[in-house]
Structure 1
Amino acid sequence: MTEEMNNEMAEVKDFSVGEIVTGTVTKVEEKQAYVNVGYKMDGIVPISELSSLHVEKVSDVLNEGDEVELQVIKLTDEELVLSKRAVAAEKAWDDLAEKHENGETFEAEVADVVKGGLVVDLGVRGFIPASLVERHYVEDFSDYKGKTLRVKVVEMDKEKNKLILSQRAVLDEEAAEKKRETLNQLNAGDVLEGTVQRLTDFGAFVDIGGVDGLVHISQMAHHHVDTPSEVVNEGDVVKVKVLGVDPDNERISLSIKDTLPGPWEALEGKFQHGDVVEGTVKRLVSFGAFVEIAPGVEGLVHISQIANRHIGTPGEVLKEGESVKAKVLDVNVTERRISLSIRALEEEKEAKAEKAAKNEYQKEDDHSGFSLGDMIGDQLKKYKK
């Protein structure tokens, strides 16, 4: 045996199944690759041993000349079978176990969209169920392929090759932290903007920075509101005032009404003495009737100004809910007082009617007088002739 042959034999490495080896890719075929790892023959890496995910062709993963780390999975005198996937998986499980234990957040790129969720390749196949992708419902995940998500490990079982991940867990934690910060920073009296999240029979929930506060229906406007949708819609950006904060129970009371000009402030210059207004009788009291002539603004029709005759009670003439017209007698915005008169309009109406009748009578009188004079005059002229 020559010295050269002895050296070649000495350089041939001795491997065992499970051992990790390093080699160079010497040839790439459609379904397998050949790698020189210092053995008496090149090792074979089947396409199924390239990745934890499906691979279309070997060249998608390996090229000639690549340096790779592989695990021996089969060894005979005639064959050496190697796995890239096994090496990646072993490292991945150890890394993922540590991340799971520490509750660590890490990034993962979506490799595929499948029924029920998303698949990622972390050296092992990871699955993100649809319900754990976002905090909100997603109907179509088709555009998630290739996206990088921030995830946490929520369940793993190496023996069963099971790895469940969640992006929602990360988003929920961030939302909870933002909520805590907002609750700690808020004070009664603060005025800020928020977004209407949802409407209920009793009010609207408004997001004011990661936390929802309730605008009770009584705090939506200065006037009476039957349903919140009369004032706001979901998605509206509104200005609100903080009425109260309860960090322990995570409750915030808000008001839209307190950020709006009061009905009396908005009334400035709108009504003048002598104006005729229309309104709704809201309340009857012993001394008169309160009539709403603008949202949240009521004027008083004193009992003496209800009718142009004597009445014992306002109820003899008016009913609550009735629509009436009245004349403005006096406006005092500072004292929030408006005096109205229905009687004044009735008297004006009667005066106009009397004047119209008088004019009509005068016309008839003038007409008949003129005709009679003319007739007598004509007869006298004829007689004189």
Structure 2
Amino acid sequence: MVEEMNNEMAEMNSFTVGEVVTGKVTKVEDKQAFVDVGFKVDGIVPISELSSLHVEKVSDVISEGDELELKVTKVDDDELILSKRAVQAEKAWQELEQKFESGEVIEAEVADVVKGGLVVDLGVRGFIPASLVERHYVEDFSDYKGRQLRLKVVEIEPENNKLILSQRAVLDDEAEAEKSKVLQTLSEGDVIDGTVQRLTDFGAFVDVGGVDGLVHISQLAHHRVETPSEVVNEGDQVKVKVLSVDPENERVSLSIKDTLPGPWETIEGDIKAGDVIKGTVRRLVSFGAFIEVAPGVEGLVHISQIANRHIGTPGEVLSEGETVEVKVLDINIAEKRISLSIRELHEEEQGGDSGQQQEFKTNDNDDHSGFSLGDMIGDQLKKYKS
């Protein structure tokens, strides 16, 4: 009997800490499991040595009859302590360091949502900081538990049991690849769909398939735009025309204006000779005033048509930004010309011409089309001759 006990002790003493053995689970309790490793005394696997993550019950991880690979962590005369976690960790660190070096993508299921991020089990505990989960801000991660994520190792320190992972790195790489592809396929003149991503003082950035192109404020509409929000909002679906592409600098210039009907096309049939309409004084020049009668559409009130008396300059009567009522004398959509009159409205209101008005009209042989080259450059020519 004494000899058998001595033989058993000799066998037990043959174990060394750090040795890896294989055994079968014989019994599962709440906080530990017993494993037959081929000797009379079953080894004990404490619940803390089952996984790199927190385990509530042993039965959540293993069952009786399971074959396990375990590392010896403690040997006494009558006790053998084993670790499943240590074996997994040793293999995992080696594999993870290789994946870190190669940049390989890893797939893992989110095991837990904790303060500041997510936890996964890769044989060792891996942590995904909240800022490295998505490319966009996420306020609530509660529904991420159980999700399968594609990850890259961004920081690894086996000696400190530190493993930082990132899904955002994977998504960023994919976005860059898609951006490069799109930049190669875009051509000047293409008309495509996009989504307004953000607005700035100088325009709107529009996503056209992974690439943000700029619609300069001057390209948002045919009429003058003070701020981009007058025309578009973030999230709007818009049609844009590609003005230029610079793949090397990843710059794309776009236009919304060029996809829209021209302002002159939109007024065709709506404004006719004889109509009385309202407009805004946009510019005063020596020969008259330009009045905006529709977004992007300006007509000319020749200086002779501003008042029913002689005036030296349009500024004697009108101011830029002023809203005025005008009568359409003539309109030519093809040539984008509208001739307007304020004087005729005054005369109609007064029920006819006074002698002064008649004299003024008799001496008035001006062309009212309002866009003659002579009118445009007359002042400059006079200055030059003088």
* TM, length-normalised to structure 2: 0.85
**1:283 and 2:250 are equivalent in the alignment:** no
Question: Which residues of 2 match residues 173-184 of structure 1 at below 5 A?
Answer: 173-184=173-184
SS in 1 for 2:77: coil
CA distance in 2, matches of 1:97, 1:268: 70
**1:231 and 2:231 are equivalent in the alignment:** yes
SS in 2 for 1:165: strand
Question: Match for residue 48 of structure 2?
Answer: 48
Question: Match for residue 250 of structure 1?
Answer: 250
Given that 1:284 and 1:290 are in contact with CA atoms closer than 8 Å, whether structure 2 keeps it comes out as: yes
Given that 2:347 and 2:353 are in contact with CA atoms closer than 8 Å, whether structure 1 keeps it comes out as: no
Question: Match for residue 344 of structure 1?
Answer: 344
**1:73 and 2:69 are equivalent in the alignment:** no
Question: Which residues of 2 match residues 1-385 of structure 1 at below 5 A?
Answer: 15-351=15-351
Given that 1:110 and 1:144 are in contact with CA atoms closer than 8 Å, whether structure 2 keeps it comes out as: yes
Given that 2:195 and 2:207 are in contact with CA atoms closer than 8 Å, whether structure 1 keeps it comes out as: yes
What amino acid does structure 1 have at the position aligned with 2:306?
A: I
Q: In terms of Rg, which structure is larger?
A: 1
What amino acid does structure 1 have at the position aligned with 2:193?
A: E
CA distance in 2, matches of 1:286, 1:11: 114
Q: Deviations over 1:25-68 (max 9, x none)?
A: 11111111111111121111111110011111111111111122
CA distance in 2, matches of 1:141, 1:308: 74
Q: How far did 1:128 drift?
A: 1.0
Name the Cα RMSD after superposition.
2.5
Q: How far did 1:13 drift?
A: 11
Given that 1:206 and 1:215 are in contact with CA atoms closer than 8 Å, whether structure 2 keeps it comes out as: yes
CA distance in 1, matches of 2:331, 2:56: 84
- Is 107-116 or 282-291 further displaced after alignment? 282-291
What amino acid does structure 1 have at the position aligned with 2:340?
A: L
CA distance in 1, matches of 2:116, 2:286: 71
CA distance in 2, matches of 1:37, 1:230: 77
Q: Which runs of 5+ in 2 are unaligned?
A: 355-386
Q: How far did 1:10 drift?
A: 12
SS in 2 for 1:93: helix
What's the % identity of the aligned pairs?
A: 76
Question: Match for residue 379 of structure 1?
Answer: none
Q: How far did 1:352 drift?
A: 8.0
Given that 1:220 and 1:257 are in contact with CA atoms closer than 8 Å, whether structure 2 keeps it comes out as: yes
SS in 2 for 1:264: helix
CA distance in 2, matches of 1:349, 1:163: 86
* TM, length-normalised to structure 1: 0.86
CA distance in 1, matches of 2:288, 2:352: 26
- Is 281-290 or 230-239 further displaced after alignment? 281-290
Aligned residue pair count:
351
CA distance in 1, matches of 2:77, 2:320: 105
Given that 1:13 and 1:38 are in contact with CA atoms closer than 8 Å, whether structure 2 keeps it comes out as: no
Q: Deviations over 1:250-284 (max 9, x none)?
A: 11111111111110111111111211111112222
Q: How far did 1:161 drift?
A: 1.2
